[in-house]
Structure 1
Amino acid sequence: MNVRIYQINMKRDANNVAFMNYESLPKFQGSSEIDSSLYDKVFEGEVNCFTLEKLYEIFNLKHPAGYKGRSMSVSDVVEIIDGNTGKSYFHFCDSIGFRWIDFAPEKTQVSDRFLSLAEQEKISVLLVPVGKSPIVKEIPNTYEAMKELVGGGGLDEYMPFEDDAAIVCNRDGKQEKLPMNRAVYQPPKRTEMSYSDLKSLFREAENKGQHLSAHIVFTADTFKKPYSEFERTYEVSSDNKAFQSRMGGYSIYGASLDGVDPCLRMEGLMADEMGGKDGWKIEKCYLLDNTREVADIIHGDFFIARSNVANEKYSSLSSEQLLKYKRLFRYPERFHETAHGIEIEPFKPDRADKER
């Protein structure tokens, strides 16, 4: 419901009609006509309710964050704006219920305690719903908006990542037995090495029937546009024909960490492979430890935001962080309780073999 709320300014209330019900107005001011010039606008915005009674409850018991006006009381005026026509309807808060009235908002003033929800600071976060892919959401930077995003209750914060991103979730998710959503894993250990050494380890692992993964970072001057190291990094698995013996072909597929190239055939692009002297030049390689140690399991919907520990507030994720955590949490997980604990089954999308 899109509303504006007006309250009598006590300094302009010569007849002392503030907090008086509608029937008492003639006794104090000689007329039942509402004097709009006595009123200040204290609030405007979209409120999550459908009745005036619910609105009254909200502005008495659950004030929107940042609201500094008085709790709603007798003599306040509520303007409801029809979303289809844009027409306004005015209601006087009476001793019992509300009364439809004529009102002239152009005669009112704006209170120094005025709050516009449209002007509230908003931040971009990554919402990770149970059983679904992550989505970017813009929300007011308020405790109430964050609580609503995770299904109510108090908030808990985890910072298991190497940067300043934080997981924000429902503090009581486990106790309330909300469905398990995603596991949070310890960051994989990375060992830097040359591409030649990496290829040797890849081939050795494949001969033993094992699969390894690595990050290959290409130099900044490889590309015509400026890219960050994150955007220049591709994840490659040993499970490629180039690293397997007695294969009928030679191919290397990789995925950029920023998600732009989800399945790129790379051997023809790389200077260290078939790309020649003008091919993509490797800056460094990291072998990844494939063991995934679970740090925690998040119950219920959660979101990821940038956390400023010094200021104790959240802010928008950078575009690089949005891409990074979209990729990290892109697939839902299934959880099974067994006699040995919780077993995690990763979601594996169907896709073509891509000659691997």
Structure 2
Amino acid sequence: MNVEQIKETYTEGMTIVLEEMKGEKTMPDGLRGTVKFVDDVGQIHMNWENGSSLALNIEEDKFFTMEEKKMISVILVEPGKYPKKIDIEDSLEAMQEVVGGYIEEYMPFDDDVAIVCNEKGKMNGAELNRAVYDKDGELMDIVAGKFFLCYAPIESETFQSLPKDMENKYREKFRFPERFFKQNDEIKVVPYKPINKEMER
């Protein structure tokens, strides 16, 4: 691909998702950024979401555009960790990889927001993750294993990215990891803060 082709392909404002930038530990897999411009030697100058402005070299770096793969932004919730926003490919295989098995859609909320989890998480002994409550604050269920939250409007046949307001709402709703134990035949749920920095990410 020559310089003119690179300029035509990677236009200003296009969203790029990084897969690998050699030698740059501060540029992780999955980092997103927007194209500023392509210079006269074919480097793609970027505004990365971590504040970096490092340019991409199409011969050395691995990346893809959001247009090349249908991606959705979801909130990943793991046992013992704070929730985090991730981008995943809008495919069954990618979703199964995230939750570690066949997926199950669970919609206990008034909003069109789905919990997508491993359908056999509890049967397989996955670690208990987060509690789900009804409108009156009564415990309805406990999700086992990793899950993600996405937008699932009734008129759509596919999962979609969470709108910003719902992203903030559900990140806060599931913010703290939880421990579970029985007391007087009742299940008690105790939120806690992750122990170390690694768990906070």
TM-score by length of 1: 0.35
Instruction: Identify the match of residue 318 of structure 1 among 144, 154, 163.
Output: 163
SS of corresponding position for 2:85: strand
**1:85, distance to aligned residue in structure 2 (A):** 6.8
Aligned to 1:124: 73
Q: What is the CA deviation profile of residues 60-95 of structure 1, one whole-angstrom value per residue up to 9, with x for unaligned ones?
A: xxxxxxxxxxxxxxxxxxxxxxx99749xxxxxxxx
Structure 1 gaps of 5+ residues are 1-45, 47-82, 88-115, 189-291, 350-356
Instruction: Identify the match of residue 331 of structure 1 among 165, 176, 179.
Output: 176
**1:337, distance to aligned residue in structure 2 (A):** 4.0
SS of corresponding position for 2:135: coil
SS of corresponding position for 2:95: helix
Aligned to 2:105: 157
- How far, CA to CA, are the matches of 1:341 and 1:174 in structure 2? 19
Give the 5 Å matches for 1:233-248: none
Structure 2 gaps of 5+ residues are 1-18, 20-56, 195-201
Q: What is the CA deviation profile of residues 74-124 of structure 1, one whole-angstrom value per residue up to 9, with x for unaligned ones?
A: xxxxxxxxx99749xxxxxxxxxxxxxxxxxxxxxxxxxxxx997111000
SS of corresponding position for 2:149: strand
Give the 5 Å matches for 1:16-27: none
Q: What is the CA deviation profile of residues 276-333 of structure 1, one whole-angstrom value per residue up to 9, with x for unaligned ones?
A: xxxxxxxxxxxxxxxx201110000100000133332100000001100011000111
Identity of aligned residues (%): 43
Q: Does 2:117 match 1:169?
A: yes
Aligned to 2:82: 133
- How far, CA to CA, are the matches of 1:129 and 1:331 in structure 2? 10
SS of corresponding position for 1:173: coil
- How far, CA to CA, are the matches of 1:133 and 1:348 in structure 2? 8
Q: Does 2:156 match 1:342?
A: no
Q: What is the CA deviation profile of residues 185-237 of structure 1, one whole-angstrom value per residue up to 9, with x for unaligned ones?
A: 0124xxxxxxxxxxxxxxxxxxxxxxxxxxxxxxxxxxxxxxxxxxxxxxxxx
**1:141, distance to aligned residue in structure 2 (A):** 0.6
- How far, CA to CA, are the matches of 1:160 and 1:314 in structure 2? 16
- How far, CA to CA, are the matches of 2:59 and 2:163 in structure 1? 38
Question: In proportion to residue count, which structure has more helix?
Answer: 1
Aligned to 2:138: 293
Q: Does 2:115 match 1:308?
A: no
- How far, CA to CA, are the matches of 1:117 and 1:179 in structure 2? 33
SS of corresponding position for 2:176: coil
Q: What is the CA deviation profile of residues 246-295 of structure 1, one whole-angstrom value per residue up to 9, with x for unaligned ones?
A: xxxxxxxxxxxxxxxxxxxxxxxxxxxxxxxxxxxxxxxxxxxxxx2011
Q: Does 2:130 match 1:182?
A: yes
SS of corresponding position for 1:322: helix
CA RMSD of aligned residues (A): 2.6
**1:343, distance to aligned residue in structure 2 (A):** 2.3
**1:347, distance to aligned residue in structure 2 (A):** 2.2
My pick for the range that moved more, 336-345 or 135-144, is 336-345
- The size of the alignment, in residue pairs, is 136
- How far, CA to CA, are the matches of 1:171 and 1:336 in structure 2? 22
Q: What is the CA deviation profile of residues 26-62 of structure 1, one whole-angstrom value per residue up to 9, with x for unaligned ones?
A: xxxxxxxxxxxxxxxxxxxx8xxxxxxxxxxxxxxxx
The change in CA–CA distance for 1:306 and 1:340 in structure 2 (over 3 A counts) is same
| 2:98 alignment partner AA | L
**1:339, distance to aligned residue in structure 2 (A):** 6.1
| 2:120 alignment partner AA | D
TM-score by length of 2: 0.61
Q: What is the CA deviation profile of residues 135-194 of structure 1, one whole-angstrom value per residue up to 9, with x for unaligned ones?
A: 00011111111111112x211111111111110000000100100000000124xxxxxx
- How far, CA to CA, are the matches of 2:58 and 2:119 in structure 1? 39
The change in CA–CA distance for 1:84 and 1:312 in structure 2 (over 3 A counts) is closer
SS of corresponding position for 2:175: coil
The change in CA–CA distance for 1:145 and 1:310 in structure 2 (over 3 A counts) is same
- How far, CA to CA, are the matches of 1:319 and 1:310 in structure 2? 20
